[in-house]
Amino acid sequence: MVPVHAACVLMSLVPLLVLGVPPIWTQPEQVHLSYPGEPGSMGVTWTTLNKTESVVEYGLMGGRLFDMSAKGDATLFVDSGEEKRKMYIHRVTLTGLKPAATYVYHCGSDEGWSDVFFFTALNDSASFSPRFALYGDLGNENPQSLARLQKETQLGMYDVILHIGDFAYDMHEDNARIGDEFMRQIQSIAAYVPYMTCPGNHEST
């Protein structure tokens, strides 16, 4: 006989399986953008627990949704903690983007797609003056500026985020689960504007 608690778990999965909802281990998370350093390009990075294809589907805002796609690679990451937790880090570079144009995108594979996000490609005008949000010391617990950053980012107030060290306090804690949760928290910022970083004293020890 199946235990009552196990039966409840199985029953809760039935609607997901019927609806074709992808299992959590192939679902993209921790989505974030970065500037690769080449004009007309944007880097998209995310993680999954199992290895899947690395695909970004995208299109111009107001145009046909996902009429372009790009593929990249997945790298196995093994945490150095006691549990040796494994995940795959996916990296895709979009190229040929129109300067200052806004694109919508999602990432993943046919085994699971992220939410739909948007970003604005780098403006190459000589008169362009980028708008930065620059800060350090943003922890996983009690991140008091996070809500404001989320709102202002999605209102289009910044072109790039510069996080100059001291992430999550600390990324490696609890077999890197603190780092995973931090990356999920900042997805609501980093999936919309390039999130550029450098190490601080918390990362150098």
pLDDT score at 1: 43
- The answer as to whether 14 is a domain residue is no
Which residue intervals of 2-125 are DSSP H helices?
A: 4-19
pLDDT tens digits, 133-142: 888 767 666 6
Helix crossing, 146-154 with 177-190: angle to 10°? 30
Whether residues 169 and 103 fall in one domain: no
Lowest mean pLDDT among 4-8, 35-39, 110-114: 4-8
- The number of distinct structural domains making up the chain is 2
- The answer as to whether 179 is a domain residue is yes
pLDDT score at 14: 40
- The answer as to whether 65 is a domain residue is yes
- Give the domain range for residue 175: 130-205
Which CATH number characterizes residue 120's domain?
2.60.40.380
Other C-beta atoms lying within 10 Å of the C-beta of residue 47: 19
**Alpha-carbon torsion 152, 145, 119, 164, what sign?**
positive
pTM of the predicted model as reported, rounded to 2 decimal places: 0.82
Q: Which amino acid is at 37?
A: G
Other C-beta atoms lying within 10 Å of the C-beta of residue 153: 20
Query: Would you call the peptide bond into 79 cis, given omega within 30 degrees of 0 as the criterion?
Result: no
Q: Is 30 exposed, middle or buried (0-12, 13-18, 19+ CB in 10 A)?
A: buried
- The answer as to whether 99 is a domain residue is yes
Whether residues 41 and 108 fall in one domain: yes
Whether residues 117 and 152 fall in one domain: no
The enclosing H or E element of 109 equals strand 102-109
Contact 57, 68 (CB under 8 A): yes
User: With the CA atoms of 141, 145, 149 and 152 taken in that order, what torsion angle do they form, in degrees rounded to the nearest 10?
Assistant: 150
Q: What is the mean pLDDT of the chain?
A: 83
Q: Which of 21, 70, 78, 19 lies closest to 47, judged by CA?
A: 78
- The answer as to whether 16 is a domain residue is no
Whether residues 135 and 204 fall in one domain: yes
Which one of 125, 141, 157 terminates a domain? 125
Contact 73, 33 (CB under 8 A): no
Whether residues 65 and 38 fall in one domain: yes
Which one of 108, 125, 142 terminates a domain? 125
Which one of 125, 156, 178 terminates a domain? 125
Instruction: Please check the confidence at residue 132 and state whether its pLDDT lies above 70.
Output: yes
- The answer as to whether 82 is a domain residue is yes
pLDDT score at 10: 34
Q: Is 181 exposed, middle or buried (0-12, 13-18, 19+ CB in 10 A)?
A: middle
